Structure formats: structure tokens, C-alpha cells
Structure 1
């Protein structure tokens, strides 16, 4: 199936992710103006963002259950309201503590209802199983494209107006996600690719079945490692490069390459997941991460090696998303994908929290990032190994048309 023949729902999902994740990835440039406005220092804003990410993961399984029961359309619509309200309340906050409710809880809830888990769950219902990973890869790439589509606009609004106006414009953008959601009603008619006995299961039975499947727990462990990697690198790479004497522009360039190459990498790994066994492709991805990270901490750190690392790690940055969600869909079917993948995503966010926290904790204890870098290498190799024994045989075979 050509990507141009994907149903309209897929493209509306991509547009939703561009806005939702694009706004999320721009929050870093708001740290200085908001911190200066409230005179709180950077730690307070960082804590609000940390609460947002943790609640993003906590809300995700429950929002996924709601999507499986009432459909992605309603969940995205409600999530866009929560997202926009959180941004607007942040823009008019008169006390810094408001940010824990607005930027933390409300935006965290909005993100859980308008990001990967919900959109991929909807996509799984309209795309044939043999093209799922490709569709998931294309959809995942939208998140990185959002970084380039939204962040320059945010910087322009900050320079020409102020952070209040910028957040209010973003709040209005959430109305677009509400509009897109009206085109995201999946056809629940049984088709050759989705009509399986799984439709007869209750949610409780589906959860019991997943929790008794060893492969499901191995998928959790693998995605935990992914979250650990992503947040450790995103949070601590700039400081690591500064410790090595590199200018701030080197870190900015490295992170830009992460975003650029992730666009291509997400789609590439998704296509590979359609052509070959997803568990083997996932193992190959983690082997690549192992070699890339080990090479980076072994070679001299220069502006060139930092840029090369950004591009290489970016290529396998979020390629795990279409493969992980594709594995869950392949084994358990599309019916409860938002719930089952939502639980896996929560594990990813736990890894993200620990990756960001342990990075600073270990640096303060040892005075160096070297131990945590080599920990990420070991975790990458472990993740490559644990995907190999996953039994990826579908529990429910499609019925004949």
C-alpha cells in the first residue's frame, strides 16, 4: 500500500501529532522567560515539566481504555480541550504554583489523549495488518516534524510578543486538533484484516490474557530501556558536551540532527517491521544503539563527533514506537491496542523519569557521566537480547473474507 493511499484518518492523526508533540517539544524555550517572570529559578519550571511527563504516563492507560471503549474521536476531542485549557491557564497564571495544575496536570492529560497511543490505536483499525508498521512509522515521524514546524513559530512569538501571547496562540491551535478529531471515526465493521474472535473478549479478559503472555512483559522491558535512553540523552547531552569544552551551539546542532534523522528513521524502521520479523528488527535497532552510544563515549568528543552522534542516535531514536506498537498489535490484535500499548507506554515514561533523574544523581555522586553512559550501553544490549525470545505469533487469526 502506498502511503498516499492511506485513509483520511491516518492523515488527520498525523496532523494531530504535529500540533500536540510540536507544542510539547517547544516548552524548553519557555523556561527562561517564565522563570524570570515568576522569579523562581529554573528548577521550579523543570519540576512542572517533570510532573507533566510523569502524569502523561500515568493517565495513558486509562485514556487508552476510554479510546477502546468510546473511540479515539471523542478522546482526542476531550484531550484537545484539556491541552488548550492548560496552556491558557498557564498564560494567565498569577502564582507559580498554578503551573503544577495547568502546565503539569492539564497539559499532561491533554498529551496522553492526543499523542501516539491514541492515534496509533485509531490507525490500527483502518490500516491492513501487513502495512501497520509502515503506517505507524509514518505517524511516529510526524512528532519529529512537529519540532521543526512549531518551534520556529514559538521562537518568533516570543521575540515579537511575549510568552503569554505565545501560549495563548498555542491554546488556539488546540482547536485544530478538535477539528481533526471529527475525521477520525474508525469504521468498526468487521473486515478481513480485523474480524477476529478478539472482538468477543471483554477488556478485563484482554488484560488478563496480555498479562499472562511472557512476550508482553518483555515488550515492557524493552520500551522501558527506550524511555531511559531518550530522556537521559535529551536531558543531559548538552551538559555532557559542555563538560567536554564544546560550545552550546554544538549541543543545539546535535539535538537538531536527532530530530531530523528521527523523521527518516521512524519511517525506515516501520517499513522494515512490515518486511521482516518485528522482534528481529527491534533487536537490530538496539544493537545499533549499543554501537552508536559505545562509539560516542569511546571516541574523542568533538563538534563533529557530537553531530555524528546526533544523526546516528536520531536514526534509531523513536523507531521503537512503530515496532513496539506493531508487535502489540500483531500479537493481540487491534481491538484493545490503545489500552495494551498505553500500559507499555506508561513503562516507557517510568524509564524516562529514571533516565533523567539517575543521570543527574550519578553525575553528582561520581562527578562524571561516564558510569551512566556505559549503563545505557549495557541496557541497549540487554534490550536487543530480550526481544529475541518473544513469541510474536498472533493470538487471533483473521477470519476469511
Structure 2
């Protein structure tokens, strides 16, 4: 069965399943920073310990993503996603019962990191790209990313309310309820495994050949390196913004409000990036996102924080949050087709997660050493501006690729 042969119900059930799974997986993960003050006080760990757990999560997510992508490309995404949901639940349980930095890190770092490889952007964008035609692919990925951001609107207020009224362990139990909703979502999204890839996207090459071609393509290398900055900036914000607001003496609930605003405005931003990505050069849009993010970071941290400035900052960042997902995945599909999309986006995502590690752990180390976040945000702004301009110069010409059958040289779009 091809994408064109899907009924409206089949297509929408797959897309909604992907959106719900992405929404909840990312919504919970991006709300972990709200737990930092309470976990530090109750378990007796430091900000650097908490940051290290978050950093390890990003490293595990990044390192495992190419391998998870290879497995999904070879055997199908459904089993990968279902496994990820179960591992996510195990990670939350370990966090809930933790009495030391080691156990907390195993849950929040190792388990949740592996679970995100199976349930978050790489898997859901691969499923989405198979479900619609090439003409509608960019806007569909933008729409799923947009709907996926609603999880932050749900997860952050839920977490903050339960942390305030019943304790952070009860908030994690609430998150387990959200994980339960991810199970049927994975089953629905997994129906995309039965869709045949269009022949134009199904170049007869081995996985090793495609990976080798990608790593030798200057545009893909630039894309992956610039993606490093995306991870650094976003994870720095989600991990350290609540603690920064606490240091500034602002209401603790403001952190949850800011994350909810990010999620809400991300609905608009992600859909807009997907829509624009189908009409304008994606490399320019992606570079522009990195540059505007960096300017927003500089403006917010340079002036004293207030409730009003925090909410404006959250709205601006939310508009630019997950909009990179349809742009990055669209560029990968444009260069190499769909056959090994999960693998190639996983490789690019490894760079993203290296940046996430530095943003989470490095921010905590800088704060513990210097007592403030000044050097952390200044570094994030500088490399963000550099990455944005370099991204705009990306080579977007698909590589010449040789089909084993017949030996014809083709340009895959």
C-alpha cells in the first residue's frame, strides 16, 4: 500500500498517533527542569549532579538515535516506539524512587534518553514523511511538530501543580499517566510501517553506502554541525531557566508558565516553519531561526529578569522552538530520500545531542563555579550567531548516487 492509497481515517490516525507520542515524550522531558529545586533539596544532590543527569540523557539519546534509526529502517518503527514507551515508564519510576544522584541519573539520564530515541522527533518525522505525498511532506511535518508541542502545555502545568501541592514524586506519577497514553499512540503511528516508499525516494543503495555518501556531503556535514547549536540553546533553557528564575527571586510557578507559553507558541512556529519550508529554501529559514534565537537569548539575559520579560522571551523562543524539526528532516529527505531517513536524521541528531549535553551540564558547571549563568548564555549567543550564518551557506544539491542495479548514476532528490 502506498501513501496515495491510504484512506483519510488511516492517514489521520497515523499522523495523530505520531503527534500525540511526540507531544507527550517531549512535553515531559522539557519539563524536567521544574523538578530541579525540589530534587536538589530532597535528595541532597547539587545543581551540577542534576545537570549531569540531563546531560547524560541527551548523550544517550544522541548516541543511540542512529542505531535506533537503523533498526526502524530495517524492521519497522512500531516495535521501536512501543519499546521506547516502556523504557520511558521505567525511567520515571527510577527517578521517583531515587535517593542518590546515581539512581536519579540512571532514570532521568539512561532510561529516558534511550526512550526519547524511540519516541521523539526522529521516529515521528520518519512516520509522517511516509504517510503523505512529497508535495505535502513539509507542511505535514510542521503540523505534527506543532501538535507535538502541546505536550509542554499539558506537562509543565501538571508538574508544577503537583510539585507544589503533593511533591515532586507525585508529579512523576502524573507523568506515568501520560506515558500510558503513549502506548496506543505508538500502535497507531506504527501503521506507517505498511506504507511502501515511493520509487522516486527508494534508491537501491545499501545502508552503508548511503551513510558514507551523507558523511562525505558538505551540506549534510554543515547541517549536522549547526544542529549542535539547536540542542545547546534549547536544553540550556529547559534545564536552567527554572533555577535562574528561582535565583532572581521570582515566583516558582513562573517557570512552568514560561514552559507552557513556549509550548503554545511553538504550535504556531512549527506549523509556520513547515509551511514556509515547502515554499522557500530551507537552509535560509533554518539559519534564520538560529540567529533570531541567539538574539532573543542575548536580550533576555542581558537585562534583569521579570515576569513580563520572561513571558515575552518564552513567546519568542516558543515560536522558534521545534520549527527546526520539519526544516532539518525536510533537508535530509531532499538530499537523500526517505529509505534511510531515520538513520540519517539520527546521525545529524547525534550532533544536536552533543550540544544538548554541553548546554545542560556546562550550564550547571558554570553556575556552580561562578555563581551565575552569564558566561553560559554569552557562549550560547556567540556560537548560535556563527552557526546561523554558516547554515545559510549549506550546499543543498543532492549527491550523485550510483544504483547497483544497472550501474546508472542518478541524482536523488
- Normalised by the length of structure 2, the TM-score is 0.83
Q: Per-residue displacement from partner, 1:55-106 (whole Å, max 9, x unpaired)?
A: 1222111111111111111100111121222323444557663333333322
Match status 1:349 vs 2:353? yes
Deviation at 1:130, TM superposition (A): 2.3
Instruction: Choose the corresponding residue for 1:185, options 174, 177, 191.
Output: 191
Q: Quote the residue 2:292 is aligned against.
A: 288
Find the aligned partners of 2:228 and 2:353 in 1 and give their Cα distance.
7
Match status 1:321 vs 2:325? yes
Deviation at 1:352, TM superposition (A): 1.4
Q: Per-residue displacement from partner, 1:212-245 (whole Å, max 9, x unpaired)?
A: 1000010011111111211233334455566667
Aligned partners of 2:72 and 2:80 also within 8 Å: yes
Aligned partners of 1:269 and 1:323 also within 8 Å: yes
Q: Quote the residue 1:54 is aligned against.
A: 59
Deviation at 1:173, TM superposition (A): 4.1
Aligned counterparts, 1:366-381, within 5 A: 369-381=373-385
Q: Quote the residue 2:33 is aligned against.
A: 28
Distance change in 2, residues 1:128/1:88 (3 Å): same
Q: Quote the residue 1:138 is aligned against.
A: 143
Instruction: Choose the corresponding residue for 1:234, options 226, 238, 242.
Output: 238
Q: Quote the residue 1:19 is aligned against.
A: 24
Match of 2:192, SS state, is coil
Distance change in 2, residues 1:342/1:202 (3 Å): same
Which range moves more in the overlay, 380-389 or 264-273? 380-389
Q: Quote the residue 1:222 is aligned against.
A: 226
Find the aligned partners of 2:176 and 2:187 in 1 and give their Cα distance.
18
Aligned partners of 2:232 and 2:359 also within 8 Å: yes
Aligned partners of 1:157 and 1:165 also within 8 Å: yes
Deviation at 1:291, TM superposition (A): 3.6
Q: Per-residue displacement from partner, 1:105-135 (whole Å, max 9, x unpaired)?
A: 2222112111111111111111222222222
Q: Per-residue displacement from partner, 1:178-198 (whole Å, max 9, x unpaired)?
A: 32222222255556xx31374
Aligned partners of 1:76 and 1:177 also within 8 Å: no
Distance change in 2, residues 1:170/1:311 (3 Å): closer
Find the aligned partners of 2:175 and 2:244 in 1 and give their Cα distance.
32
Distance change in 2, residues 1:21/1:236 (3 Å): closer
Find the aligned partners of 1:70 and 1:143 in 2 and give their Cα distance.
25
Match status 1:206 vs 2:210? yes
Match of 1:204, SS state, is helix
Q: Per-residue displacement from partner, 1:132-190 (whole Å, max 9, x unpaired)?
A: 22222222223431112233334555566665555445435434323222222225555
Q: Quote the residue 2:14 is aligned against.
A: 9
Residue ranges of structure 1 left out of the alignment (5+ in a row) = none
Distance change in 2, residues 1:286/1:157 (3 Å): closer
Aligned residues: 395
Match status 1:77 vs 2:82? yes
Aligned partners of 1:71 and 1:185 also within 8 Å: no
Aligned partners of 2:201 and 2:338 also within 8 Å: no
Distance change in 2, residues 1:307/1:66 (3 Å): same
Deviation at 1:302, TM superposition (A): 4.6
Find the aligned partners of 1:360 and 1:387 in 2 and give their Cα distance.
28
- Normalised by the length of structure 1, the TM-score is 0.85
Aligned partners of 1:196 and 1:397 also within 8 Å: no
RMSD: 3.3
Distance change in 2, residues 1:74/1:224 (3 Å): same
Match of 1:390, SS state, is coil
Q: Quote the residue 2:111 is aligned against.
A: 106
Deviation at 1:264, TM superposition (A): 1.4
Aligned partners of 1:195 and 1:398 also within 8 Å: no
Which range moves more in the overlay, 307-316 or 386-395? 386-395
Q: Per-residue displacement from partner, 1:35-66 (whole Å, max 9, x unpaired)?
A: 55545466544433332232122211111111
Find the aligned partners of 2:382 and 2:39 in 1 and give their Cα distance.
38
Match of 1:387, SS state, is helix
Which range moves more in the overlay, 292-301 or 173-182? 292-301
Residue ranges of structure 2 left out of the alignment (5+ in a row) = 400-409
Deviation at 1:358, TM superposition (A): 3.5
Find the aligned partners of 1:251 and 1:322 in 2 and give their Cα distance.
27
